[in-house]
Amino acid sequence: MALFHINRYLGDENDADQTSSESRSKVLLARLQEQARIRQQQNSVLQEDDRPSPHTPSKKKISRREKDENSDLHETKKKKKEEVNQEGKIRTDSPDTSDQGENCSSLKKKKKELETEQTTSVEPNKSAKKRKQEDRQQDPDPSHHLEGGEKLDVSQHEDEHTEVTKEHPDQSRQTSEQKTDSDFTILGGFASKPVQKVQVVLPQWLAQPDVVQRDINKNLVPIRHVTGICPQLLAKLESNGIHHFFPVQAEVIPAILEGVGDGLLVGRGGYWPRDICVSAPTGSGKTLAFVIPIIQALLKRVVCEIRVLVVLPTKELAQQVGKVFHCYTEGTGLKVGMVTGQRSLAAEQTSILERSGCGWRSLADIIVATPGRLVDHINMTEGFSLQHLRFLIIDEADRMIDSMHHVWLSQLTKVVYSGSDKGFIFRRTEPGAITAANQLQPQIPLQKLLFSATLTQNPEKLQRLGLYQPRLFSSTHCFPLDLEPGPQDRFIFPEGLTQYYVSCTLRKKPLLILHFILRLKFSPVLCFTNSREVAHRLYLLVKLFGGIQVAEFSSQLSPTERKRALKDFEQGKIQLLISTDAAARGIDIEGVKCVVNYDAPQFIRTYIHRVGRTARAGKAGLAFTFLLEIQEKLFLQMLKDAGSPEIHKQIIKAENFTVLEPHYEKSLLELKKITKEEKAKKKHI
């Protein structure tokens, strides 16, 4: 006996009787037709149930709309007929017979379309929606309905869109966005989106520096309030007329001294000392901010070795800093060596090294150098050892990073960290992660100190210097929050500086400078040009005009000539010093009341350093920039972007020059002669 009764599908009972496939398909068709009829009935019942509501249009309105639709249909039909006739004409006229077959088929197609449209227009009272539903019943593909809708009219098209949106809400949003007021559908969906602003994210040490107050006179600190400076140095400071430290000195001196609190061998707490970066305005006293703590740190040294290296971009700057070191090391037993190329290599070698019984002996504790000559000594001077180097000071650091000279740094680092194992008791390794192994052996750390009035805040650039846990002291961050430095660096200008610009023509520029000195009695004036040629021509012209003590300063002159020019200017023997940017950075000339930018500088950093030759050490100063009309807009924008205080427009009337002009014209003619002679001389050489 069977436990289960299994029902097997044996096919439709009726089908079994029907043997021919033709009769089966007839039955299927009948069923489908029946289903379609039922659906049609259901839809018509639904439509009848629709009551007019305040949101739906009234029957009157609908019928009017239907009328409109019908009239639209007639119009489109007419147009299509015309099109077909025209096309037929064109095609028959066309000489190209290859397309004839295609033409015929397309014509037939269009005629068919017209016929179908005629059948739909036979029932003018049928609503567009109904027709669409019928279409849909015939064709199950919704995309086909959309195409049919497009052929009917725009309102119908809209209905279809709303039906589609019911199924896909996201799609509906997109399509509604793409529609304009005139119901015109824009394909593509390229809606404009607000572009997100790129935020500059600085590392914490750059974003949150130790703030250095910019106003010198309001933030003076008595020198005895800064701890850690020995009485000998304090006495020296006072004898030089320094009773107060400037804000940058009051902040930076203790920070450097902190790193040598436990001697030269280790930093605070036995750790490698942090590197220090200082960004403070021109003339704010950055030189003493490193000279004093460095001398203080070296006072207890026993053996003379090169422990401090100061690198500066130009000879003149190196001489200037060397002078300050000489002044404060006097009577301390510490020795300062100059490696600047001012003298021959051999003369420099004998000044810094001496042969002793067991090799070479250093004659300098502090070396002040220019990068080029430093590399020469690293490569060519026997016994030039930097194994004891404790401080590397980079003044005008942004210039040193930007310039080609930064190859010197890699050479220097190589010398400092290589050769440590050649019988040297303190093995030196580059700073890195603190491990038990590298803490066991004592080693002299190399601490880097960077100084500039326009220190870059670009971490990528600073990274090239291989800084170890750097600490930043900056005046730039005194900006209010809404003026925080952005992608473009912002800088602090000296408090006592007043800036002007003068609109002029190229021809009037020399007359302006003459007017400044002869009529307005500005003296001494430091005047900057953008090239050696312009500096030289202007120098010759002023000299030919007469009545003004003038000198030039550029790389065209020999070092001794440049030195003499600076000395004469400092001593007041010269009223007007015409210079290239060779004197723009760092040069500290007392008593410069006025700086003139004869040529407008191209970069904001150049401008800051040029005008920074006046208004130094908390004093007042004037800066004038001669601008051609086309330069004005860009120049003023550059200053604004850098956070400069207001720059005033100085108007100088043309009648001021009338007295000067006749003599000026004569001088110009003479200048032509002289420059010709000079050119001929050069060719001869």
What whole-number distance in Å separates Cα of residue 624 and Cα of residue 611?
9
CA distances from 288 to 8, 24, 294 (A): 107, 109, 10
CB of 682 to ligand ATP, least distance (A): 35
Q: Does 156 bind ligand ATP (CB under 6 A)?
A: no
Of 113 and 210, nearer to ligand ATP (C-beta) is 210
42: left (phi over 0), alpha (psi -120 to 50) or beta: alpha
Question: Quick one: DSSP state of residue 192?
Answer: -
333: left (phi over 0), alpha (psi -120 to 50) or beta: left
CB of 312 to ligand ATP, least distance (A): 10
Tokens of 315: 């000879």
What whole-number distance in Å separates Cα of residue 322 and Cα of residue 334?
13
Contacts of 111 (CB under 8 A, 6+ apart): 84
CB of 246 to ligand ATP, least distance (A): 5
Q: Does 282 bind ligand ATP (CB under 6 A)?
A: yes
Of 250 and 446, nearer to ligand ATP (C-beta) is 250
- Residue type for position 661: E
Of 252 and 540, nearer to ligand ATP (C-beta) is 252
CB of 614 to ligand ATP, least distance (A): 10
Q: Does 284 bind ligand ATP (CB under 6 A)?
A: yes
Of residues 252, 255, 397, 453, which one binds ligand ATP by CB under 6 A?
453
Q: Does 393 bind ligand ATP (CB under 6 A)?
A: no
CB of 408 to ligand ATP, least distance (A): 20
Q: Does 586 bind ligand ATP (CB under 6 A)?
A: yes
Q: Does 200 bind ligand ATP (CB under 6 A)?
A: no
Contact map string, positions 38 to 77, toward ligand ATP, x by CB under 6 A: ----------------------------------------
Q: Give how many residues touch ligand ATP by CB under 6 A.
A: 18
Of 266 and 594, nearer to ligand ATP (C-beta) is 594
Of residues 274, 286, 428, 515, which one binds ligand ATP by CB under 6 A?
286
Phi, psi torsion values for 528, nearest 5 degrees: -105, 135
Strands 576-579 and 594-597: unpaired
Q: Strands, E, within 162-232: which ranges?
A: 210-211, 221-222
Tokens of 364: 């300098």
CB of 310 to ligand ATP, least distance (A): 12
Q: How far is CA 138 from the centre of its chain?
A: 65
Of 601 and 612, nearer to ligand ATP (C-beta) is 612
Q: In what order do the strands lie in the sheet with 308-311?
A: 210-211, 471-474, 276-279, 447-452, 391-395, 308-311, 366-369, 336-339
Q: Does 285 bind ligand ATP (CB under 6 A)?
A: yes
Show the CA angle centred on residue 243, arms to residues 242 and 248, nearest 5°.
75
What whole-number distance in Å separates Cα of residue 38 and Cα of residue 44?
10
Stretch that binds ligand ATP, among 142-150, 276-284, 342-350, 661-669 (CB under 6 A): 276-284
Q: Does 399 bind ligand ATP (CB under 6 A)?
A: no
Kindly identify the residues of this chain, within the stretch 229-258, that bind ligand ATP according to CB under 6 A: 242, 244-246, 249
Q: Does 617 bind ligand ATP (CB under 6 A)?
A: yes
Q: Does 528 bind ligand ATP (CB under 6 A)?
A: no
Residues that bind ligand ATP (CB under 6 A): 242, 244-246, 249, 282-288, 453, 586, 588, 612, 616-617
